[in-house]
Amino acid sequence: MSPGPTPIPPEVSAAGALPIIHHRTPEFGEVFTRVNENLKRVFLTENDIFTYAASGTGAFEGAIQNLFSPGDKVLVVNNGNFGNRWVKMSRAFGLEAIELKYDWGVKADNDEIADTLAREPGIKAAVCVLSETSTGTVNDIEGFARATEDVVTIIDAVSGIGACPLRTDEWGVDVVVAGSQKALMTPPGLGFVSVSERAMRMHEESRMPRFYFDWTAAKKAYAKTPPQTPWTPAVSIIIQLDIALQQLLAEGLEEVFQRHILLGRASRAGIKGMGLKLFGPDEDLNSAVTAAWVPDGMDSKALVRLMFREHGIQVAGGQGPMEGRIFRIGHCGYFDSYDIIATIAAAELALESLDYPIELGNGVGAAQRVFSKSGVTA
Ligand SMILES: Cc1ncc(COP(=O)(O)O)c(C=O)c1O
């Protein structure tokens, strides 16, 4: 129950044990063709999606190298650990990052973003995180894309893709960065980037040094029949991703979003039911991660440790300024109602062990009620 790496379906585990096939064979070509088509269905885009043997941070670094020239101006929303990372990374690459900072747990203000773009000439692109994993808060990306329609938009969807709706083409998002290890139900090791035609045009102007992540090299290799990667792909993880994407699409993408909404709703109800306070807005948008304050005087690291040691349930603590103060339940990916019910039950027992006065079952009952009302029990 941590927000990544997440559990994977048994069929995806089993696929990882298959013999390695060579990546320039018709057999791998068949898998890779299907993976590319299915990724587009999940990213809700017709744009090219390049897959790298890297984590999400690598794919993001590639996006910076491919889009910008040193000194370019980029607007970056920072309302958590990952927004903060993209500010730091932009500066590391010599960009002028205009940082729009919000308190952790607070959603980006798209009106303020539009005003900043209108006031600051020369901004070439705008960055925002879909699901800010460090807080559980999901930004309104449809509104963000509207507010930034005159510049290239870059969305970090590492924990959001496959959990929270991201209608890439419908909303006009140019670049989406993601990773394999969260809602895509695949082991860590793959980074993805989808690239619109407008972003490709910006890429053609950019003068940042690059090699491994070069989109021109990727585009040339993907244009072959069957599509290829310019360098050796992570064959086994791509074969695993193939199974995971087929499972996701068999469930139905909209159904997957609905399941995540329910998991989020039940988690929030469980947290409130056990008398704790939510961290961040109490809304259905937050369907990937649920964060909560621990009671005053308690260290969330103790709660996280106890839940794992005594109950075998791995939730996450707080990051950065929230270290020790909040805990986070990840529910992006291969999770169902009983995962949430068991997590809330373990949290109640662990809180009691830490001498927090609690009526056992109140949180569990509140979570169960969400599923019972929805008719979903598995
Ligand atoms: C929202 C978000 N962005 C970026 C990252 C970094 O991705 P990775 O660890 O795959 O490099 C993470 C990982 O937790 C994340 O949740």
Q: Please give the distance, rounded to the nearest whole angstrom, from the Cα atom of residue 354 to the centre of ligand 1.
A: 31
Average pLDDT over residues 123-136: 98
| 100 vs 97: CA distance, rounded Å | 9
pLDDT score of 32 more than 90:
yes
> What pLDDT sits at residue 321?
97
Q: What is the pLDDT of residues 66-89, one digit of tens each?
A: 999 999 999 999 999 999 999 999
pLDDT score of 341 more than 90:
yes
Ligand 1: which of 90, 128, 133 to mutate, judged by most atoms within 8 Å of the beta carbon? 133
Is the CB of residue 82 below 6 angstroms from any atom belonging to ligand 1?
yes
Q: Please give the distance, rounded to the nearest whole angstrom, from the Cα atom of residue 185 to the centre of ligand 1.
A: 14
Phi-psi region of 94 (alpha: psi -120 to 50; beta: other; left: phi over 0): left
Is the CB of residue 158 below 6 angstroms from any atom belonging to ligand 1?
yes
Residues contacting 161, CB < 8 A, separation 6+: 42, 43, 130, 176, 178, 182, 183, 184, 192
Is the CB of residue 186 below 6 angstroms from any atom belonging to ligand 1?
no
Average pLDDT over residues 30-49: 98
> What pLDDT sits at residue 325?
98
* Tokens matching residue 352: 């009691």
* DSSP 8-state assignment for residue 232: -
Sequence-ordered strand ranges (E) for 105-232: 123-129, 131-132, 137-138, 152-156, 175-179, 190-195
pLDDT tier at 59, thresholds 50, 70, 90: very high
Amino acid identity of residue 236, one-letter, is: S
Is the CB of residue 179 below 6 angstroms from any atom belonging to ligand 1?
yes
According to DSSP, the residues that pair with 78 across neighbouring strands are 101
> What pLDDT sits at residue 375?
78
CATH, domain 253-374, list 3.20.20.140, 3.90.1150.10, 3.40.50.2000, 3.20.20.70: 3.90.1150.10
Single pTM value for the model? 0.98
Whether 178 contacts 191, CB under 8 Å: yes
3-class DSSP state of 174: coil
**2-to-33, 81, 244, 348 alpha-carbon distances in Å:** 31, 16, 19, 17
> What pLDDT sits at residue 339?
98
> What pLDDT sits at residue 378?
60
Whether 318 contacts 300, CB under 8 Å: yes
Average pLDDT over residues 244-254: 98
Of 186, 204, 163, 213, nearest to 63 by C-alpha is 213
Provide the percentage of residues in the chain whose pLDDT is more than 90: 98
According to DSSP, the residues that pair with 51 across neighbouring strands are 192
Q: Please give the distance, rounded to the nearest whole angstrom, from the Cα atom of residue 25 to the centre of ligand 1.
A: 32
> What pLDDT sits at residue 377?
61
| 288 vs 338: CA distance, rounded Å | 16
Ligand 1: which of 82, 84, 175 to mutate, judged by most atoms within 8 Å of the beta carbon? 82
Work out whether strand 96-101 and strand 73-78 pair parallel, antiparallel, or are unpaired: parallel
Of 295, 301, 308, nearest to 352 by C-alpha is 295
According to DSSP, the residues that pair with 152 across neighbouring strands are 125
pLDDT score of 196 more than 70:
yes
| 263 vs 331: CA distance, rounded Å | 7
3-class DSSP state of 203: helix
pLDDT score of 376 more than 90:
no
Atom of ligand 1 minimally distant from the CA of 191: 10
Residues contacting 217, CB < 8 A, separation 6+: 230
Atom of ligand 1 minimally distant from the CA of 55: 10
Neighbours of 188 (CB within 10 A): 15
Atom of ligand 1 minimally distant from the CA of 132: 1
Q: What is the pLDDT of residues 158-173, one digit of tens each?
A: 999 999 999 999 999 9
pLDDT score of 317 more than 80:
yes
Q: Please give the distance, rounded to the nearest whole angstrom, from the Cα atom of residue 57 to the centre of ligand 1.
A: 6
Q: Please give the distance, rounded to the nearest whole angstrom, from the Cα atom of residue 215 to the centre of ligand 1.
A: 21
Whether 370 contacts 273, CB under 8 Å: no
| 376 vs 251: CA distance, rounded Å | 14
pLDDT score of 11 more than 90:
yes
Average model confidence (pLDDT) across the chain: 97
What is the CATH number that goes with domain 10-251?
Answer: 3.40.640.10
Is the CB of residue 4 below 6 angstroms from any atom belonging to ligand 1?
yes
Ligand 1: which of 158, 182, 193, 289 to mutate, judged by most atoms within 8 Å of the beta carbon? 158
- Which phi and psi angles does 193 have, rounded to 5°? -145, 130
Q: Whose CA is nearest to atom 2 of ligand 1?
A: 158
Residues 3-14 as b or e (16 or more Cβ within 10 Å = b): bbbbbbbeebee
Spell out the domain ranges in the chain: 10-251, 253-374
Ligand 1: which of 6, 57, 87, 131 to mutate, judged by most atoms within 8 Å of the beta carbon? 57
Q: What is the pLDDT of residues 350-363, one digit of tens each?
A: 999 999 999 999 99
Neighbours of 52 (CB within 10 A): 24
Q: Tell me whether domains 10-251 and 253-374 share a fold.
A: no
Q: Please give the distance, rounded to the nearest whole angstrom, from the Cα atom of residue 352 to the centre of ligand 1.
A: 32
Work out whether strand 326-330 and strand 73-78 pair parallel, antiparallel, or are unpaired: unpaired
Is the CB of residue 57 below 6 angstroms from any atom belonging to ligand 1?
yes
